[in-house]
Amino acid sequence: MGRNRPTRYEHLADDMADAIAAGLLKPGDALPSVRQTCQQRGISPSTVFQAYGVLEARGLIEARPRSGYYVRPQRPPARRVPRAAVPRAEATAVAVSALAFELLESTRQPDVVPLGSAFPAPHLFPLDALARSGARAMRRLKPTQITSALTVGDAGLREALRRRYALQGVALGEDELVITHGALEALNLCLQAVTQPGDVVAVESPTFYSALQTLERLGLRAVEVATDPQLGVDVDALAALLARQRVAACWFMPTLHNPLGALMPPARKQALVALLARHGVPLIEDDVYGELYADLRRPPPARAFDTQGLVLHCASFSKCLAPGYRVGWAAAGRWAPAVQRLKMMSTLATSLPPQLAIADYLAQGGYDRHLRQLRAALATEQQRARRVIERHFPSGTRVTQPAGGYFLWLELPPHVDALALHHRAMAQGISTAPGVLFSADRRFTHHLRLNVGHPGDTRVDAALRLLGEWAAG
C-alpha cells in the first residue's frame, strides 16, 4: 500500500515536462509516439497515455486527432513566465512583518478588492455542511474527550488524516501527527524544533512572507535558493549551498509554491529529499496548497520520498475546506516528540470544536467531491483572470501559469515600482501583495502576487484593468 516513489507514468510526465521547460521540446514539436515511447522505456501504452493525459491537463501539450501529441504554443514573449531570480549568497536578517501586517489588516475589510489576500473566497467552502457537522459532533461530545485530546489532538481526526496520508503513499507513525492551530503554528513549532536562534535556514526565492516572519520571530537567518517558477527549488543550487555552508533546515513549498505556484516534479522532489538525507538536513515541507492541484491526481509530497524521518510535513484545512477553523497539523518525523512538547508549551492543545466538526465532515464522505468542485472553480477562474491580465497589463509583463492554487505571480517591466503601485491601489480600495514581501532583502521590486481565487466577485476585472493601466504608467 505504501508508495514512496513516483509511479512510472509520473516519471515519464516529469521527464517530458522537464524537456519542455528546458526548451528541448519546443512549441509545435511532436512528442514521441506512444508506441516509440513504450519501446524506449519498456512501459505499457496505458502508462504513456496516463502521462500524456497529465501533461495535457497541465496545459503543456495538446492532442491532435489522428496525429498525436504536440507541445502547445507558448504565450507570446510579452507573457512569458517570470524568470528565476538569482538570490544573494549570504544569509540575511529578516524584517518584513510591518508590510505583511498592513496587508492582513486590509484583508479584514470587506470593501477592499482582495487581490492581496492570502485566502480564496469564503463562499467556495462548505460552511453550512461544516456547521451541521460541528453541531452534531458537539452534541455527542463526551466530557472525557476534552482531556483525552490534550496537546496532540482529537484521536478521530488524527486517524482520518493518517488514512489520507496512507492513500497518498505516506505511512505515518501512530504518534507522529500533532494537530495545530493552522499550518502556521505547525511550521513555527517544526522550525523551532530543528533550529537554534542564529541558525541559517534555506528558503525559496521568492518565498512566502510568513516564513520570513517566522524566521524573524525566532531570530533565524534566511538564505535564499534559486527557484524555478514552474519546477521549484533548484536542487543543484541547493547542493552547492550545502557544500559551502552549514544550513540548519530548509523550509520549502514543493507543491504549488506561494507565490510562484511552482510544482516540483516527483523526481525532483525525490532528488531534493535524497540530497538533504546525505547532509542530514531536515526539510520543513509547507504543503498547504497540496489539495488544490489542477492535475488529475494529487502530486506526492516530498515527504513521500523520505525514509529517514527528516521531512516535517505541515498542512491544514484552511485553504481547501475550512477557513477560519484554524485546524492544521504537523507530521514531524523524528522530531514529533519535540514538536509535541513545544505545542504543550505554547498553546497547550488545539481547540476541540473545530477539530470535531472537521472529523465529522470527513466521516460524512463529501470531502473529495468538494475538493473536485473547488479545484475546477479555481482553475476556471485562474484562466479567466489571466486573460484579463494579458489584455490590460503593459507589454513586458510576465505571468506564471501555475498548475493549481489561486495565486498568479507577475513580473512587471523593471521600471515599475510595485510597492508604489500597491499603495496607489490600496488608496483606491484594491489590495495587492507587492513582491518585496517575498524576500528577506526586499528584492522583487517590480513583482506582484495576485489572488485570483474569487470567482464571481464582480469587482475583480475592473480592479485588474486598473492595476494594468497604472502599471503601464
Is 343 or 447 the residue whose CB approaches its own copies more closely?
Answer: 343
Cα–Cα distance, 114 to 125 (Å, whole number): 17
Is 176 or 411 the residue whose CB approaches its own copies more closely?
Answer: 176
Is 149 or 304 the residue whose CB approaches its own copies more closely?
Answer: 149
| Helices 352-364 & 127-139 angle (0-180, nearest 10) | 110
Is 243 or 348 the residue whose CB approaches its own copies more closely?
Answer: 348
Give the contacts of 179 (CB within 8 A, at least 6 positions apart).
152, 153, 154, 157, 158, 327, 328, 329, 350, 355
Shortest Å, Cβ 186 to its own copies: 10
Q: Which residues contribute to the site for its own copies (CB under 8 A)? A: 97, 100-101, 104, 107-110, 114, 117, 119, 121-123, 127-128, 130-131, 134-135, 138-139, 141, 143-151, 181-182, 184-185, 188, 192, 197, 210, 213-214, 216-217, 219, 323-327, 340-342, 344-354, 357
SS (H, E, C) the chain: CCCCCCCHHHHHHHHHHHHHHCCCCCCCCECCCHHHHHHHHCCCHHHHHHHHHHHHHCCCEEEECCCEEEECCCCCHHHCCCCCCCCCCCCECCCCHHHHHHHHHHHCCCCCEECCCCCCCHHHCCHHHHHHHHHHHHHCCCHHHHHHCCCCCCHHHHHHHHHHHHHCCCCCCCCCEEEEEHHHHHHHHHHHHHCCCCCEEEEEECCCHHHHHHHHHCCCEEEEEEEECCCEECHHHHHHHHHHCCCCEEEECCECCCCCCCECCHHHHHHHHHHHHHHCCCEEEECCCHHHECCCCCCCCHHHHCCCCCEEEEEECCCCCCCCCCEEEEECHHHHHHHHHHHHHHCCCCCHHHHHHHHHHHHHCCHHHHHHHHHHHHHHHHHHHHHHHHHHCCCCCEECCCCECCEEEEECCCCCCHHHHHHHHHHCCEECEEHHHHCCCCCCCCEEEEECCCCCCCCHHHHHHHHHHHHHC
Is 55 or 203 the residue whose CB approaches its own copies more closely?
Answer: 203
Shortest Å, Cβ 433 to its own copies: 15
Is 59 or 219 the residue whose CB approaches its own copies more closely?
Answer: 219
Is 326 or 386 the residue whose CB approaches its own copies more closely?
Answer: 326
Is 59 or 337 the residue whose CB approaches its own copies more closely?
Answer: 337
Shortest Å, Cβ 222 to its own copies: 14
Q: Tell me the sheet residues that pair with 314.
A: 286, 330
Shortest Å, Cβ 319 to its own copies: 12
Is 57 or 426 the residue whose CB approaches its own copies more closely?
Answer: 426
Shortest Å, Cβ 312 to its own copies: 17
Shortest Å, Cβ 182 to its own copies: 6
Shortest Å, Cβ 354 to its own copies: 5
Shortest Å, Cβ 252 to its own copies: 19
Shortest Å, Cβ 364 to its own copies: 16
Closest alpha carbon to 252 in 289, 285, 288: 285
Shortest Å, Cβ 438 to its own copies: 16
Shortest Å, Cβ 88 to its own copies: 23
Is 168 or 351 the residue whose CB approaches its own copies more closely?
Answer: 351
Is 323 or 396 the residue whose CB approaches its own copies more closely?
Answer: 323
Identify the burial level of 342 via C-beta atoms within 10 angstroms of its C-beta, where 0-12 means exposed, 13-18 middle and 19 or more buried: buried
